Structure 1
Amino acid sequence: MHPPEIRARVRALRARGHNIRSVARSLDLPYTTVWHWCVDRPEPTQVNSAVRCFRCRPELTGPTDPTAYAYLLGLYLGDGHLVTSDRVPVLRIYCTDTWPNLIEACDAAMRAVLANRIQRIQKQGCVAVQSTGKHWPCLIPQHGPGKKHQRPIVLAAWQRDILTSHAGHFVRGLFHSDGCRVSNRVTVRGREYAYPRYMFVNESSDIMGLCQWALDLLGIAWAMNRRNSLSVARREAVAALDRHVGPKS
């Protein structure tokens, strides 16, 4: 059984004009599976966002794809912006051109959570992946005027419940936006050694605290090397984080 986020990625690629064979090859899926999802039983092209908003439908206990929601929230807290001053709210996630698969993953997560349509606006050095929807503010209550590090960022109780069960996907979103995996080089007794470590940098002490909280849930050791910079450097901790985050691509 393939997770909903894989189906969302398949349909997102098809919507941008890729043929079934190329989609199947790029995602390492059987041709017949992609054909079945896109041709035999295609997803409706438009679904009212109110129908998909689990915060406005009391019969829904949570998002249909909580892993995609946890990942998308991590991306938003790092490189996202929710505009509520327009006639219809717009969620934008800024993804660097360097990592095209990150752009695809962001697109797929938006579709899995709420979006019917996605726009990609090319900026200098990055792409703004954006979606309009009246119910984005329901799902991302951390939005507000000004920069995130200049206002409180606090999880709602229902968000904390989702992220507690899907901390790995939340951490993945955080590190895919404001984190990196680097090779750290040190010299000991005249010999140079290199070892991998993860870095997460964010000016918001609240967002940094959420990253620390999620890493603690996963049992991954971390340390603050600067006021706004977190490091995961122990060999076993890096290996554990690799299983949840992995390199950007």
Structure 2
Amino acid sequence: MYDVSTRKRTLGLVAQGRSLSSVSLETGISRAAIRSWQNRLEPLPRIAPQEPGPPADECAYAYLLGLYLGDGCISGHPRTGYYLRIACANSWPGLIDACEIAMRAVNPTGRSYRTQAQGYVSVVGYSRHWPRLFPQHGPGKKHERPIVLAPWQQAIVEAHPWAFIRGLIHSDGCRITNWTTRTVAGERKRYEYPRYFFTNVSVDIMRLFTRALDQVGVDWKQANARNISIARKASVALMDDHVGPKY
């Protein structure tokens, strides 16, 4: 009923990764017929998806990279694609919204969705290109393997350091209010002051964070092996202007 060229053209559409249903709707050929052709004709080479190139929205990418380095992971899918998941605490609905907006801007498919777990929300996006967009992906925990930015990633971070810092703070940082007491004119008084903390067990990720702080002129101090403290008044004011507390 159909000539060989029609069959090959139809199977070519399937080879692009489209479903039998969508190809059937476009061509008017039944799914059963298409399925039988797949078995009877010599398999056609699968057309590789076009590489999307560097992220068009570099600011969104710098923010999402910070979130990924803190609370993100990439997992494989049986159909050779990948899921990017960013875990966001229920306490910060604004952060969840910002994460989803950034993921949609960066994801070549332009899509993301949320899955609820106990105490947190995972913002999820599916794409076969995630390992290329986040080459830090690999087996094991991030602090147990080297984390080094590719040259094109480093260029984006240097162009958008505040977005990168915001992503890292939103994943593994916080803004808190410390207090101390002083004796003034014989009277003990309490003083409060804001401070930012960033906590991570990866030496490489800590170094990426402090390098970005140096670029924007924020003074920081290594509080201990896992914590970076930002307490100087001028530096806290800079962080408040460009990052702010979680919300």
Category of TM-score, reference length = shorter chain? 0.7 to 0.9
Q: Is the 8 A contact 1:179 1:198 kept in 2?
A: yes
Deviations 1:165-224 (A, max 9, x none): 100000000000100000011112222110001000001000000000000010100001
Partner residue, 2:234: 236
Query: Does 1:216 pair with 2:209?
Result: no
Task: Provide the rounded CA distance (Å) in 2 between the counterparts of 1:124 and 1:243.
Answer: 32
Q: Match of 2:71, as an amino acid?
A: D
Distance 1:161 1:126, change over 3 A: same
Q: Match of 1:244, as an amino acid?
A: H
Q: Match of 2:52, as an amino acid?
A: C
Distance 1:148 1:85, change over 3 A: farther
Aligned length: 193
Partner residue, 1:90: 83
How many percent identity over aligned positions?
52
Q: Match of 1:234, as an amino acid?
A: R
Q: Match of 1:218, as an amino acid?
A: V
Summarize the alignment of residues 11-90 of structure 1 with structure 2, pairs less than 5 Å apart. Answer: 53-54=52-53, 62-84=54-76, 86-87=78-79, 88-90=81-83
Task: Provide the rounded CA distance (Å) in 2 between the counterparts of 1:68 and 1:147.
Answer: 24
Q: Is the 8 A contact 2:103 2:111 kept in 1?
A: no
Which one of the candidate residues 137, 140, 146 is aligned to 2:134?
Answer: 140
Q: Match of 1:210, as an amino acid?
A: L
Partner residue, 2:93: 100
Normalised TM-score (structure 2):
0.75
Task: Provide the rounded CA distance (Å) in 2 between the counterparts of 1:117 and 1:230.
Answer: 34
Query: Does 1:188 pair with 2:182?
Result: yes
How much does 1:226 deviate?
A: 1.0
Query: Does 1:200 pair with 2:207?
Result: no
Q: Is the 8 A contact 2:58 2:156 kept in 1?
A: yes
Normalised TM-score (structure 1):
0.75
How much does 1:246 deviate?
A: 1.1
Summarize the alignment of residues 93-172 of structure 1 with structure 2, pairs less than 5 Å apart. Answer: 93-114=86-107, 115-172=109-166
Structure 1 unmatched runs, 5+:
1-49, 55-61
How much does 1:70 deviate?
A: 0.1
Q: Match of 1:102, as an amino acid?
A: L
How much does 1:53 deviate?
A: 2.2
Q: Match of 2:55, as an amino acid?
A: P
CA RMSD of aligned residues (A): 1.3
Deviations 1:13-34 (A, max 9, x none): xxxxxxxxxxxxxxxxxxxxxx
Task: Provide the rounded CA distance (Å) in 1 between the counterparts of 2:78 and 2:190.
Answer: 54
SS at match of 2:201: coil
SS at match of 1:172: helix
How much does 1:85 deviate?
A: 5.9
How much does 1:51 deviate?
A: 5.8
How much does 1:52 deviate?
A: 7.4
Task: Provide the rounded CA distance (Å) in 1 between the counterparts of 2:65 and 2:50.
Answer: 20
Q: Is the 8 A contact 1:53 1:139 kept in 2?
A: no
Distance 1:183 1:86, change over 3 A: farther
Structure 2 unmatched runs, 5+:
1-48
How much does 1:229 deviate?
A: 0.2
The structure with the larger Rg is 2
How much does 1:116 deviate?
A: 2.7
